[in-house]
């Protein structure tokens, strides 16, 4: 039996002698790596915080104290230490462990979280709440009170929300600990002036001379003598960073003291330092230096690739130096297609520029960054800044493309409204991982971009079904100057179904018929019409074939704004029942836009609205699982669409047209 097998909760951990903790750390790393090799998931971030997580649970009692994760993709060790070892074997599935903190799994997870920058602000809120209820730690009146700890990375702390959180934290008059996990990496290399400042500190050979000044400053803090002694014993591994000249003195401008860095992989000094800062009754930042991917040579060497890899295998023992690792690949991804398409646009048009927010590999922008470094930027985890910067570039006559995960677009919606759409500036959005994203679950689904963006006047909102249509949409965006534009595409491989067929150019508000033998716009009769937004169009074709009817018209809608009003009018005139499909929320989505258009057309031209069935994501959270299982769950895979189509065809004899929504889309669990 391993040590990990005996850990049913943090209380068991605290029974272990410190000398046993390195063995436990090795077992946790092995367990995580063995599972991620099979399932995929966040590997390098979790490997890097094993000792830090053990030390935190060893010193604090988070059944009572508060631990808040920033981003949350580094929570696997935390979950293994809090009674969830059995869930690891089904990582990122509905039956197993979520890849991010999940409140339904354990009371040790305080927030469902997957976006950077939030931990400090939510921790400030909990600290204030505990103080108001009388439960907060106070060395004099409540020494057994709740302590609050937030864990944030050096790349996340530059996020605007994190800065706002620090500003609020500095006003607290109580214990409040921010752990700055400094591994010199985000998903890729951190960007910006603050990241460069941290790099300077890591390379500095002189900041150790500030130890004396640091000890004097710490002595003025409650518990400071103990911290100073622990700091002194830590030696060169723990250097003071309190000076404005060479250290993280800028934390003091927020009202927080800063201590460190300490070695995040050295249990004795790490535990000793945590025990001392635990007793300080004012806001403090503990700077902890860790290695992303720690413990596995291949993950340390390429922590960007192994940040969140798919399943992979190695050709030798994973601890062998120089081992070869092969990542699982199911085909060419939309992300890879975007990278190549951006290169083509930038080669043809010197006005095209591009940007990403800490996701160069995840969005395909690593290729333009390498080839066009003067026209490509990675701004770090700063989506709002990225969109505003793109608006500034548009104002100076450039053609900016911002590549961003669909789930992170929400962080920049205000900028899309104020600095792009309101100014009629043509900022172009490439929305990767739109719709259901599989194992990352609810925190990462891209389900509300259409409902947000279609409120903006002048916006052109598109979706691609394959690589040719993706390239065609990007070419349309390059020349679209009326306002903001976007194209969405899933975390999936590109289909080859239409590669042998010429892809027609995108025309504003015009759909593409994928069944030319049954196109109502050319006078053909259709028993039903399917209007699909994005890749669900391919499943709609399969569903039409499964239904056994050749008189089903399938359209790649292409645009959620503007809707193809001519097509909708033709369907109203012919009283053709309609099914809309989208990998997006039904609330405010593409189907809603089609219904609004149908009612407007019918009212304007004295027509009746045909029966309209909307398929999409229901008004509930879809938890982690494989993407195919999630699509089946909400009824927008080929089988689900075929069932909806059969139901519609069976009801097609109803003479009184009506708008309907299938019960499956409305159900809740």
Give CA–CA dist 558/235, Å, rounded: 62
Give CA–CA dist 297/47, Å, rounded: 11
Own/partner long-range contacts of 536-540 (Cβ < 8 Å, ≥24 apart): 536/581, 536/582, 536/583, 536/615, 536/636, 536/641, 537/465, 537/581, 538/465, 538/466, 538/495, 538/497, 539/581, 539/631, 539/636, 539/637, 539/638, 539/641, 540/514, 540/579, 540/581, 540/641
Give CA–CA dist 171/282, Å, rounded: 9
Taking each helix axis from N to C end, the angle separating 119-133 and 160-169, rounded to the nearest 10 degrees, works out to 30
DSSP string for residues in 95-131: TS--SS--TTT-TT--S---STT-HHHHHHHHHHHHH
- Assess whether 105 carries a catalytic annotation: no
Reduced 3-state DSSP string for 304-339: CCCCCCCCEEECCCCCCCCCCEEECCCCCEHHHHHH
- Assess whether 411 carries a catalytic annotation: yes
H runs (alpha helix) in 43-101? 44-48, 50-59, 76-81
| All residues at 6 or more sequence positions from 469 whose CB lies less than 8 Å from its CB, including other chains | 498, 503, 506, 512, 556, 558
Angle at 335 between CA 555 and CA 464, to 5 degrees: 10
Q: Are 553 and 579 in contact (CB under 8 A)?
A: no
Give CA–CA dist 201/203, Å, rounded: 5
Dihedral, CA of residue 358, residue 361, residue 362 and residue 364, to nearest 10: 110
Helix (H, G, I), strand (E, B) or coil at 550: coil
- The catalytic position among 211, 217, 411, 627 is 411
| Residue whose entry in the numeric block shows the structure tokens 């669909």 | 406
Q: Which two tokens stand for residue 290?
A: 């860790």
Dihedral sign (CA 433, 437, 440, 445)? positive
- The catalytic position among 239, 292, 305, 471 is 292
DSSP string for residues in 560-577: EES--HHHHHHHHHTT--
DSSP string for residues in 425-442: ---EEEEES-B--GGGGG
- Assess whether 383 carries a catalytic annotation: yes
Q: Which two tokens stand for residue 334?
A: 């939309």
Expressed in angstroms, the distance from the first to the final Cα of the chain is: 39
Taking each helix axis from N to C end, the angle separating 211-219 and 224-234, rounded to the nearest 10 degrees, works out to 160
- The catalytic position among 35, 276, 383, 633 is 383
Own/partner long-range contacts of 162-168 (Cβ < 8 Å, ≥24 apart): 162/70, 162/116, 162/117, 162/118, 162/119, 162/120, 162/121, 164/121, 165/117, 165/118, 165/119, 165/120, 165/121, 165/123, 165/124, 166/120, 166/251, 166/254, 166/256, 167/254, 168/120, 168/121, 168/124
Give CA–CA dist 402/390, Å, rounded: 7
Active site amino acids:
292, 383, 411
């Amino acid at each position: 039996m391993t040590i990990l097998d005996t850990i049913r909760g943090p209380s068991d951990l605290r029974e272990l002698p410190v000398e046993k903790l390195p063995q436990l750390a090795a077992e946790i790393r092995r367990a995580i790596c063995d599972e991620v090799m099979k399932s995929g998931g966040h590997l390098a971030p979790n490997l890097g915080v094993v000792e830090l997580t053990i030390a935190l649970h060893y010193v604090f009692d988070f059944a009572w104290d508060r631990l808040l994760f920033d981003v949350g993709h580094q929570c696997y060790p935390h979950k293994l230490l809090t009674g969830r070892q059995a869930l690891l074997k089904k990582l990122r599935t509905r039956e197993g462990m979520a890849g991010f903190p999940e409140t339904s799994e354990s009371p040790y997870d305080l927030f469902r979280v997957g976006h950077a920058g939030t931990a400090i602000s939510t921790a400030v809120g909990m600290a204030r709440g505990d103080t108001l209820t009388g439960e907060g730690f106070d060395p004099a009146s409540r020494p057994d009170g709740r302590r609050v700890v937030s864990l944030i990375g050096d790349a996340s702390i530059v996020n605007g929300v994190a800065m706002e959180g620090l500003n609020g934290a500095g006003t607290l008059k109580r214990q409040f600990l921010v752990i700055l996990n400094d591994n010199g990496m985000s998903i890729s290399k951190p960007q910006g002036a603050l990241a460069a400042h941290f790099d300077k500190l890591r390379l500095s050979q002189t900041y150790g001379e500030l130890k004396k000044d640091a000890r004097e400053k710490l002595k003025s803090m409650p518990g400071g003598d103990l911290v100073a002694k622990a700091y002194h014993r830590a030696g060169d591994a723990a250097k003071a960073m309190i000076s404005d000249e060479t250290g993280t003195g800028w934390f003091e401008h927020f009202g927080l003291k800063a201590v460190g860095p300490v070695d995040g992989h050295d249990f004795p000094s790490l535990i000793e330092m945590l025990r001392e800062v635990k007793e300080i009754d004012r806001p403090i930042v503990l700077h902890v230096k860790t290695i992303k991917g720690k413990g596995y040579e291949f993950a340390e060497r390429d922590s960007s690739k192994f940040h969140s890899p798919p399943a992979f295998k190695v050709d030798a023992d994973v601890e062998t130096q120089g081992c070869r690792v092969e990542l699982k690949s199911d085909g060419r991804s939309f992300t890879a297609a975007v990278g190549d398409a951006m290169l083509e646009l930038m080669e043809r048009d010197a006005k095209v520029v591009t940007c990403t927010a800490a996701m160069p590999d995840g969005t395909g922008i690593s290729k333009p960054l390498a080839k066009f470094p003067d026209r490509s930027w990675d701004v770090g985890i700063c989506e709002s800044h990225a969109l505003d910067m793109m608006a500034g570039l548009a104002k100076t006559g450039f053609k900016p493309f911002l590549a961003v995960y669909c789930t992170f677009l929400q962080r920049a919606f205000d900028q899309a409204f104020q600095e792009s759409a309101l100014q009629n500036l043509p900022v172009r959005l490439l929305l990767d991982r739109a719709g259901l994203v599989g194992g990352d679950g609810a925190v990462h689904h891209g389900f509300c971009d259409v409902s947000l963006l279609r409120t903006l006047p002048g916006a052109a909102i598109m979706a691609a079904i394959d690589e040719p249509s993706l390239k065609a949409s990007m070419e349309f965006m390059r020349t679209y100057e009326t306002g903001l534009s976007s194209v969405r595409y899933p975390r999936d491989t590109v289909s080859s179904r239409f590669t042998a067929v010429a892809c027609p150019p995108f025309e504003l508000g015009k759909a593409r018929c994928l069944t030319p033998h049954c196109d109502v716009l050319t006078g053909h009769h259709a028993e039903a019409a399917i209007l699909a937004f994005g890749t669900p169009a391919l499943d709609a074709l399969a569903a039409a074939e499964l239904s056994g009817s050749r008189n089903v018209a399938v359209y790649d809608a292409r645009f959620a704004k503007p809707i193809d009003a001519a097509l909708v009018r033709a369907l109203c005139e012919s009283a053709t029942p309609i099914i809309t499909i989208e990998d997006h929320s039904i609330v405010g989505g593409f189907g809603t836009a089609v219904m609004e258009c149908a009612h407007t057309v019918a009212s304007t031209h004295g027509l009746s609205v045909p029966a309209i069935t909307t398929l999409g994501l229901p008004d509930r959270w879809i938890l982690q699982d494989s993407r195919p299982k999630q699509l089946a769950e909400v009824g927008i895979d080929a089988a689900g669409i075929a069932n909806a189509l059969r139901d519609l065809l069976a009801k097609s004899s109803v003479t009184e047209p009506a708008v309907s929504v299938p019960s499956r889309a409305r159900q809740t669990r």
